[in-house]
Amino acid sequence: MTILVIAEHTNSALAAATLNTVAAAAKIGGDIHVLVAGANAGAAAEAAAKVSGVAKVLVADNAAYEHQLPENVAPLVAELGKGYSHILAAATSNGKNILPRVAALLDVDQISEIVAVESADTFKRPIYAGNAIATVQSSAAVKVITVRSTGFDPVAAEGGSAAVEAVSGSADAGKSAFVGEELAKSDRPELTAAKIVVSGGRGMQNGDNFKHLYALADKLGAAVGASRAAVDAGFVPNDMQVGQTGKIVAPQLYIAVGISGAIQHLAGMKDSKVIVAINKDEEAPIFQVADYGLVADLFEAVPELEKLV
């Protein structure tokens, strides 16, 4: 049994989600190979070779793979993947974009966002916004799977010494082109990898008031998230959204400020170790999942909290 893990990377560096995906592969068991498809991705490949438990790194270096366009990358993964028992990718926007296309090219079903490995062919995954957990079994020749990062503790980024091997793939499929990118700039930890997350909702009232959360987050070394209401109201950009349709997080501590706790928001954060809710409405559903609830005006409580931590 040999498992192919598709690396999540920025060409110059390996993304943390890759380490969680390798951890899921290790639970399945067998040799683990990592594919780094990109352009000038030597640095990402070197980082992948050092990851604990990786036996081999395949590097497909081609200008066509620079922006991870699925029309170009999926045929490469499908061709390479034929000889593997499993193909795994992180359930990031890239992984979710590319992997189903790979599965259809291989004519197999895909299993999305697994949170646990029961055996080499049986996995657990949440459905209905996390309100039910399904155990699914695959009889596919190649099992194509995306991995929810928060379900698996990352393997060590250092300690491995895998061989790096260049592979060639198909060229540009000529169906799509990268036009541009607008990335939100932030010095705070990445939302999905942060140990502490402070999130604001509609109760923040406006974008300017998020400065209270930023101040608290900086003191705690935390990332800042938001509910859909805060994003839709234009308080913060959408890549900060936590929930079924945004990012799934499971930090050590999640502080929900001015968030009522709709099902769709809980789907993105209810696996956090400790949940704190600060809300002036004591009937808010968020208090049903919060370990510590504080019924208070957030504009008084948050600055006070910032002073005390």
- Using CB atoms within 10 Å of the CB of residue 30, give its burial: 0 to 12 exposed, 13 to 18 middle, 19+ buried: middle
Cβ at position 41, least distance to another protein in Å? 17
Pairing assessment for the beta strands 122-127 and 116-119 based on DSSP bridges: antiparallel
How many Å is the Cα radius of gyration of the chain?
21
Give the whole-angstrom CA distance, residue 167 versus residue 181.
28
Nearer to another protein, 49 or 115 (CB): 115
Token pair 């999305």 is found at 112
Q: Which of residues 5-24 bind another protein (CB under 8 A)?
A: none
Nearer to another protein, 153 or 282 (CB): 282
Piece of 22-30, 37-45, 159-167, 263-271 that binds another protein (CB under 8 A): 263-271
Asked if 245 is part of the footprint of another protein (rule: CB under 8 A), the reply reads yes
Task: Give the shortest CB-178-to-another protein separation in angstroms.
Answer: 6
What character string, x for contact with another protein (CB under 8 A) and - otherwise, covers 269-308?
-x--xxxx-----x----x-xxxxxxxx----x--xx--x
Closest to another protein by CB, 49 vs 231, is 231
Helix (H) or strand (E) holding 44: helix 42-49
**CA distance linking residue 275 with residue 289, whole number of Å:** 7
As measured in angstroms, the least distance from the Cβ of 56 to another protein is 26
Q: Which is nearer to another protein, 109 or 164 (CB)?
A: 109
Round to whole Å and give the CA distance between 118 and 267.
Answer: 22
Smallest CA-to-CA distance from 172 within 28, 262, 39, 24 is with: 39
Our CB check for another protein shows the closer of 35 and 162 to be 35
* Positions 91 through 150 that interact with another protein (CB under 8 A): 92-94, 96-105, 107-113, 122, 126-140
Nearer of residues 46 and 121 to another protein, judged by Cβ: 121
Angle among Cα 219, 221, 225 to the nearest 5 degrees reads 100
- Buried-exposed string 253-268: b where 16+ CB fall within 10 A, e elsewhere: bbbbbbbbbbebbbbb
Minimal distance in Å, beta carbon 259 to another protein?
A: 15
Q: Which stretch binds another protein (CB under 8 A): 21-29, 33-41, 200-208, 244-252?
A: 244-252
Task: Specify the DSSP element, H or E, that contains 124.
Answer: strand 122-127
d(CA 34, CA 98): 16
State which residue, 88 or 103, has the beta carbon closest to another protein: 103
42-81 footprint of another protein as x/- string (CB under 8 A): -------------------------x-xxx--x-------
Restricted to residues 171-230, the positions that interact with another protein (CB under 8 A) are: 174-184, 192, 196, 220, 228
